[in-house]
Amino acid sequence: MRIASWNVNSVKARIGHLVDWLKQAEPDVVCLQEIKCVDEAFPTAEVEALGYNVATHGQKSYNGVAILSKRPFEVMRGLPGDDADTQSRYIEAEIPTDSGAVRVASIYLPNGNPPLTDKYDYKLAWMDRLIAHAQGLLALEEPLVLAGDYNVIPTAKDVHNPAAWEGDALFLPRTRDKFRELLALGFTDAFRACDDREGQYTFWDYQAGAWQRNNGIRIDHLLLSPQAADKLQTCVIDKHVRTWEKPSDHVPIRIDLRA
| Annotation: binding site | 7, 34, 149, 151, 249-250
108 is catalytic: yes
Active-site option among 17, 158, 250, 256: 250
Question: In sequence order, what are the residues at sequence separation of 6 or more whose Cβ sits closer than 8 angstroms to the Cβ of residue 139?
Answer: none
Active-site option among 28, 149, 158, 168: 149
Residue 173, Cβ density class (10 Å: 0-12 exposed, 13-18 middle, ≥19 buried): exposed
Residues in the chain: 259
149 is catalytic: yes
221 is catalytic: no
* Residue-wise burial string across 75-114, b where 16 or more C-beta atoms lie within 10 A, e elsewhere: eeebbeeeeebebbbbbbbebeeeeeebbbbbbbbbbbee
Contacts from 94-101 at CB under 8 Å and sequence distance 24+? 95/29, 95/69, 95/71, 96/71, 96/72, 97/1, 97/71, 97/259, 98/259, 99/259, 100/142, 100/143, 101/142, 101/143
H helices present in 92-249, as ranges = 118-138, 173-184, 190-194, 226-229
Active-site option among 17, 28, 90, 108: 108
Active site residues: 108, 149, 250
